[in-house]
Amino acid sequence: MTGPRKAGTPRPLVPLRRWGAAVLVGLSACQGPVQPPAADPPKTPVPPPAAPSEAATLAATAPATKTTPTVAPPSPEAYVENERNTMEVFRAAAPATVFVTQIGLVKNPLTLRAMEIPQGTGSGFVWDDQGHIVTNFHVVAASGRRPPRIVVRLQDQSTYEGRLVGIDPTKDIAVLRIDAPRDKLTPIAVLPPGVPLAVGQKAIAIGNPFGLDHTLTVGVISALGREVRGIGGVTIRDMIQTDAAINPGNSGGPLLDSRGRLIGMNTMIFSKSGASAGVGFAVPVSTIRRVVPQIIAHGKPTRVGIGVSVLDDSIAHRVGIAGVVIREVLPGSPAHRAGLRGLAHTRRGPVIQDVLVSVDGAPVRSFDDLFTALDARRAGERVEFGVLDLQRGATRRVTIPLIELE
């Protein structure tokens, strides 16, 4: 039932009924006796002419305006080509996409017996033919004291136990390994270094949302260089934003370009409901290319530094310091040789001496800034640090070589 019409709301246009036209049929003349004239047939009433519709009236009275130029639509062949490309990418990349399930032990309160139940699901992809699987750290992170049992399911539905090789919580990356035959492993194609990404280019996500394995969604790269707070507590920079639908269970799955090459790993979404709102984020392939080989080789990512420990940001901010306070300098470290100083312990308590305020001219206001500035560096590189002497209020610049941290 419709409610009362609001004031100012235009009435819906009602189509006019079509009237049939009367067809007059004349009698042909014939020879013979003249017949009396026949009575005129009854005339069909003719309706009055219909009033023009409201839309027609508005169109006739609307002033002519200049609009944006009309763009020719894609040809039917273009649509078919785009669809064909999407299907080919799925066929190529689906064998490299896996289903990751975390299984935990739960005690039945009635029987007091322990039983295994799935505690979380996600996606991943095959990195090499040695059985290394890449996924998100939060997909395999333990929720209790005991490490979870991890099961990896390939496209052919065969399942294998996954052993954790290593993690990088700061990038939300984890590497597993399964003992699967090489002929069952199809490593994913990775975008080569130096190939740029562009906003607007096609983005294809494959994963297992809500446990529905090997689901494909298509979108575009919506933005590049996004900064997202990661599960490791530091900002993951250069994240890819995409509108390809990403839902719970897509985490760890590949984000691909139109050539089927890995451009990112689907990680998180921006949503108030928990479902995809068209704003998803993926760890960029540049980070994956750097971190995954380090985890495979060493069991952890390689980190560099100068040999100092720092105070928590909350303490520095509490005393009004914008920078990273050096708490302690390790003896014999590059920082020690460069003359950097940690906290001075006095009778009144610890006193702050040196604060890191810049790296190669870029300001450093927190540990997050310092971590990001050194994240892509390698051991042996020489970096210029801005060091504030808090007691004197003077800043000096010191060049210090980086070392690999234990």
Catalytic site residues? 138, 172, 251
* DSSP annotation of 190: B
What is the number of alpha carbons within 13 Å of residue 157 lying toward its C-beta?
A: 1
- 294: alpha, beta or left, given left = phi > 0 and alpha = psi -120 to 50? alpha
Instruction: Name every residue whose Cβ is closer than 8 Å to that of residue 210 and which is 6 or more positions away in sequence.
Output: 247, 248, 249
- Nearest-5° Cα angle at 222, 167 to 237: 35
365 vs 375: CA distance, rounded Å: 16
151 vs 121: CA distance, rounded Å: 10
What is the number of alpha carbons within 13 Å of residue 294 lying toward its C-beta?
A: 19
> Cβ distance 276 to 268 under 8 Å?
no
Residue 192 is encoded by which pair of tokens? 């080569």
> Cβ distance 150 to 100 under 8 Å?
yes
Beta strand residue intervals within 170-323, DSSP E: 173-177, 202-207, 215-229, 235-242, 254-256, 262-269, 280-284, 304-305, 308-310
* DSSP annotation of 183: G
Q: Could you give the C-alpha distances from 71 to 65, 67, 68, 74, 77, in angstroms and in order?
A: 17, 12, 9, 9, 17
